[in-house]
């Protein structure tokens, strides 16, 4: 008796726990062969969209496949499929018909027409056709028969497809792609929902609020799930053990599967619906993942090949792929993949060959603003003009840059692209720049190259920003002011420094590191020390020279010596290179009789290392290595075109830079006539002697990250080829 009472109490508690579930009016349905979303919705007398709302993983009707478990929100009685149609009376018609026709049109049956063809033509069902033509229940369709075709009111899709939205606060290290991935939408959908987002940048600020679709299909507020799976209950499986296996409470299982209550508990062979948990590898942000946006006509095989990832890992990280691959879908990838792929702002970029992607319909409008100093140059006096060019760096730079730019214009013309060009002499005067801007109409200009000096550049940037015109700074790496429309074509010192130090950190084994830095290069000193904490510090006297004896004892004859020299004093560079070269070539003078091996580096390459007092032979013996935004151009197509255009004259580095900067701008504008938009999806581009890889810093502008590691070797300067470097888009 006592045992019977315990069983009775347990049963009552179990069913009481299930009472709130029945109040929700949900049922589950296992899709059978031949069933569709429409037929299921008709069976349960609900709209197809209400089923989609309750089943988040089902994106559209094509996702409803055999054996899929659906949650059905019950709003009416379930209708059973009848073997044959019978005439119904008028009262039953009104009860079953939810939408009444607003009018009728007459249709005369033609030869070979069928009921199926007529219903398709007028977008109605066979049941609707027969309901208003009751003779079709007992008669066959005959030629010249007159039918009444019901015309129903058009349903506003917004009435049925009105989604619930929520306000989402952007977290630190989140991007548009990480947020889109988290909510299972495309970036385009994110922009449509949030029209205030700037379409010319991908920036998201931490704390910014976004309007996003509220996740649907999960009535459990505390249960964070994205997708569901069907599970066939094996023998002896209980709710408790099933909950432990899937890591969810037993009441959540019952809420998702109301038929458990109807059948008095979990039964062997029952097919239930269980949630797939979210990926627990970390928050979906740029600290843990990189992202890829699926393009039209791509397939899983091609994506796995391009992203260098297995199909299994891709599906594990992106369970939504089980519902099919769709254009605009944002996929997340392991952060480690960034070393193998080209990534910008945590987004994996596709390879785009700019030369092959030119649209000849685009006709870029380009403006050059450079200090040619025509106010100082007397063209009639050749001797004085040559002397002026020789002594004025700004004039030599402008003329060299412009001669290279002219070759770029010739080159783009041969590719079939026409360019409108205007050139202005800024005279290195900010007042002159203001006069030009006041006088000339910049409307329709696609890009401005120049000016050189900081003041005129700021003036042009401010005026151009109001018209959303990009400004390319030919020799600047930064500005004291913030300009979100300026492309700084020279990398910052910090980028160059990090390039070299990262490379050296990878190849470092047990070398003896020594730092020689004057007081003006404290930042470089600290950066080197952070990478190599065991480095020795050499004392510098009056920012000019070394204490020789104290320095020499720091050199090791057991290990290779890596000496960093951070200064902009030519005399100090000449002195230190001479000392190091002497130590490097002495053999048998140490106590052990071993040769001292020395290599010299700098993170702050400048004109002091190119001074005539510095021996190039010493630099070569020391395998002097440094970071640079410029590499020596060889006998490439540009050099040939330049010498041909200018009667055998070889281009200097200013001419090379003029060609590279101009060609980069022209090719990007020929691909898409919006430099801001192009910069989102084009990564590294390389030309004769310079590379460009712009990173948008939102309010501060676009900063070039492309640079090289150069090394003196056998009296020549060569580029050091780092492993796993991403190839250019050219």
CATH number at residue 423: 3.40.50.2300
The domain containing residue 694 runs over which residues? 365-491+632-707
Which of 221-235, 437-451, 493-507, 675-689 shows the lowest mean pLDDT across its residues? 221-235
Residues 531 and 551 in one domain: yes
CB-CB contact of 691 with 708 (8 Å): yes
pLDDT of residue 729: 53
pLDDT at 636: 78
Residue 158 has pLDDT above 90, yes or no: no
Mean pLDDT of 580-587: 76
Please indicate, yes or no, whether residues 683 and 620 belong to a single structural domain of this protein. no
Q: Does the residue 714 lie in any domain?
A: no
Does residue 726 lie within any of the structural domains? Answer: no
354 assigned to some structural domain: no
**Per-residue H/E/C for 631-658:** CCCCCCHHHHHHHHHCCCCCCCHHHHHH
In this structure, the answer to whether residues 69 and 107 fall within a common structural domain is no
Q: Answer yes or no: is pLDDT of 223 > 50.
A: no
Domain count of the fold of the chain: 5
- 3 state SS of 120: helix
Instruction: Indicate whether 24 and 108 sit together in one domain.
Output: no
My answer on whether 413 and 551 are in the same domain is: no
Measured CA angle at 462 (ends 457, 463), to 5 deg: 100
The pLDDT value given to residue 104: 87
Q: How far apart are CA 441 and CA 439, in angstroms?
A: 7
Candidates 730, 706, 711, 729; CA nearest to 721 is: 711
The answer to whether position 7 is within a domain reads yes
Pick from 508-512, 556-560, 665-669, 725-729: least confident: 725-729
Work out the end-to-end distance of the chain between its first and last CA atoms, rounded to an integer number of angstroms: 87
Average pLDDT estimate for 513-529: 93
Cα(284)–Cα(655) distance, rounded to whole angstroms? 46
Mean pLDDT of 478-505: 93
Residue 571 counted as domain residue: yes
- DSSP 8-state secondary structure symbol assigned to residue 690: B
With a cut of 90, say whether residue 47 has pLDDT above it: no
**Do 257 and 338 belong together in one domain?**
no
- For residue 299, the model assigns a pLDDT of 87
Q: What's the pLDDT score for residue 706?
A: 92
- Around Cβ 357, how many Cβ atoms within 10 Å? 14
- 213 and 236 in a single domain? The answer is no
Out of 595, 628, 661, a domain closes at 628
Q: Is 647 left (phi over 0), alpha (psi -120 to 50) or beta?
A: left
Could you tell me the pLDDT band of residue 708, with boundaries at 50, 70 and 90? very high
Region 320-338: mean pLDDT is 86
Q: What's the predicted TM-score (pTM) here? A: 0.64
Average pLDDT, the chain: 82
Task: Choose one of 323, 348, 373: the last residue of a domain.
Answer: 348
Q: Tell me the angle at which helices 393-414 and 382-391 cross, rounded to the nearest 10 degrees.
A: 100
Residue 153 has pLDDT above 80, yes or no: no
71, β-bridge pairs: 28
Rounded to whole angstroms, the Cα distance separating 719 from 73 reads 66
pLDDT of residue 501: 95
| Residue 646 shares a structural domain with residue 497 | no
Average pLDDT over residues 214-229: 50
pLDDT(82) > 50:
no
pLDDT tier at 591, thresholds 50, 70, 90 = low
Shared-domain flag, residues 482 and 528? no
Is the pLDDT assigned to residue 573 strictly greater than 90? yes
Res 258 pLDDT > 90: no
pLDDT attached to residue 8: 39
Helix (H) or strand (E) run with residue 2 in it? helix 2-23
Tell me the average pLDDT across 623-628. 95
Q: What percent of the chain has pLDDT over 90?
A: 33
Binning pLDDT at 50, 70 and 90, where does residue 276 land? low
The reply to whether 272 and 315 lie within a common domain is no
Q: Which residue has the higher pLDDT, 82 or 141?
A: 141
Query: pLDDT confidence of 220, banded at 50, 70, 90?
Result: very low
In a domain, 595, yes or no: yes
Whether residues 344 and 208 share a domain: the answer is yes
Measured distance CA(642)–CA(651) in Å, rounded: 7
The answer to whether residues 320 and 176 belong to one domain is yes
Task: Specify if 420 maps to a domain.
Answer: yes
pLDDT digits (tens, 9 = 90+) for 350-386: 777 888 888 889 999 999 999 988 777 776 777 777 7
Question: Would residue 127 count as lying in a domain?
Answer: yes
Per DSSP bridges, beta strands 486-488 and 702-704 are parallel
Lowest mean pLDDT among 261-270, 372-381, 605-614, 654-663: 372-381
As a whole number, mean pLDDT of residues 338-346 equals 81
CATH number assigned to the domain comprising residue 137: 3.10.350.10
Higher pLDDT, 561 or 385: 561
| pLDDT at residue number 21 | 37
CA distance 453 to 371: 9
Is the pLDDT at 431 greater than 50, yes or no?
yes
Task: pLDDT band for 561, please (50, 70, 90 cuts).
Answer: very high
């Amino acid at each position: 008796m006592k045992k019977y009472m315990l069983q009775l109490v347990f049963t009552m508690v179990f069913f009481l726990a299930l009472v709130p579930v029945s109040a929700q009016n949900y049922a589950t349905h296992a899709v059978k062969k031949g069933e569709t979303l429409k037929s299921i919705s008709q069976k349960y007398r609900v709209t197809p969209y209400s089923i989609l709302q309750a089943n988040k993983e089902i994106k559209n009707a094509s996702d409803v496949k055999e054996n899929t478990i659906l949650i059905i929100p019950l709003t009416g009685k379930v209708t059973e499929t009848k073997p044959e149609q019978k005439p119904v009376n008028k009262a039953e018609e009104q009860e079953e018909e939810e939408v009444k026709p607003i009018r009728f049109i007459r249709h005369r049956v033609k030869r070979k027409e069928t009921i199926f063809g007529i219903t398709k033509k007028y977008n109605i069902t066979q049941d609707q056709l027969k309901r208003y033509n009751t003779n079709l229940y007992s008669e066959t369709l005959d030629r010249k028969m007159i039918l009444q075709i019901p015309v129903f009111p058009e349903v506003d899709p917004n009435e049925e497809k009105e989604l619930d939205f929520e306000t989402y606060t952007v977290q630190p290290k989140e991007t548009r792609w990480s947020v889109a991935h988290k909510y299972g939408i495309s970036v385009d959908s994110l922009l449509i929902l949030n029209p205030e987002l700037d379409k010319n940048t991908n920036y998201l600020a931490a704390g910014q609020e976004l309007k996003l679709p509220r996740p649907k299909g999960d009535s459990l507020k505390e249960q964070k799930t994205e997708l569901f799976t069907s599970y066939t209950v094996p023998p002896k499986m209980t709710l408790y053990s099933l909950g432990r296996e899937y890591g969810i409470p037993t009441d959540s299982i019952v809420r998702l599967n109301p038929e458990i209550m109807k059948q008095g508990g979990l039964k062997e062979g029952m097919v239930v619906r269980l949630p797939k948990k979210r990926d627990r590898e970390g928050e979906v942000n740029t600290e843990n993942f990189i992202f890829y946006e699926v393009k039209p006509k791509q397939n899983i095989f091609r994506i796995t090949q391009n992203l260098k990832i297995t199909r299994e890992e891709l599906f594990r990280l992106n369970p939504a792929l089980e519902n099919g691959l769709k254009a605009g879908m944002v996929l997340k990838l392991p952060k480690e993949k960034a070393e193998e792929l080209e990534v910008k702002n945590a987004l994996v970029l596709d390879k785009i060959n700019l030369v092959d992607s030119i649209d000849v319909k685009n006709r870029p409008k380009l403006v050059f603003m450079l200090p040619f100093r025509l106010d100082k140059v007397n063209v009639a006096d050749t001797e004085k003009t040559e002397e002026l060019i020789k002594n004025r760096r700004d004039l030599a730079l402008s003329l060299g840059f412009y001669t290279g730019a002219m070759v770029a214009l010739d080159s783009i013309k041969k590719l079939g692209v026409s360019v409108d060009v205007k050139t202005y002499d800024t005279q290195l005067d900010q007042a002159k720049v203001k006069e030009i801007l006041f006088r000339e109409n910049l409307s329709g200009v696609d890009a401005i190259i120049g000016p050189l000096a900081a003041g005129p550049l700021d003036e042009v940037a401010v005026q151009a920003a109001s018209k959303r015109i990009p400004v390319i700074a030919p020799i600047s790496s930064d500005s004291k002011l913030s300009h979100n429309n300026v492309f700084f074509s020279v990398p910052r010192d910090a980028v160059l420094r990090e390039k070299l130090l990262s490379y050296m950190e990878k190849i470092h084994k047990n070398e003896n590191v020594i730092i020689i830095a004057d007081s003006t290069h404290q930042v470089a000193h600290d950066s080197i020390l952070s990478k190599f904490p065991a480095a020795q510090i050499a004392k510098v006297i009056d920012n000019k020279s070394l204490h020789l004896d104290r320095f020499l004892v720091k050199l090791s004859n057991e290990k290779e010596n890596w000496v960093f020299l951070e200064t902009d004093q030519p005399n100090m560079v000449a002195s230190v290179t001479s000392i190091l070269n002497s130590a490097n070539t002495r053999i048998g003078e140490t106590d052990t009789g071993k040769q001292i091996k020395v290599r010299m580096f700098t993170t702050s390459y400048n004109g002091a290392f190119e001074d005539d007092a510095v021996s190039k032979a010493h630099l070569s013996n020391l395998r002097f290595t440094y970071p640079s935004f410029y590499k020596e151009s060889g006998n490439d197509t540009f050099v040939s075109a330049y010498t041909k255009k200018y009667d055998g004259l070889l281009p200097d580095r200013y001419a090379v830079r003029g060609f590279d900067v101009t060609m980069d701008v022209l090719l990007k504008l020929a691909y898409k006539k919006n430099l801001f938009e192009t910069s989102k999806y084009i990564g590294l581009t390389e030309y004769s002697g310079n590379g460009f890889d712009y990173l948008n810093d939102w309010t501060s502008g676009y900063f070039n990250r492309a640079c090289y590691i150069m090394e003196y070797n056998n009296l020549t300067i060569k580029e050091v080829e780092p492993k796993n470097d991403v190839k250019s888009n050219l």
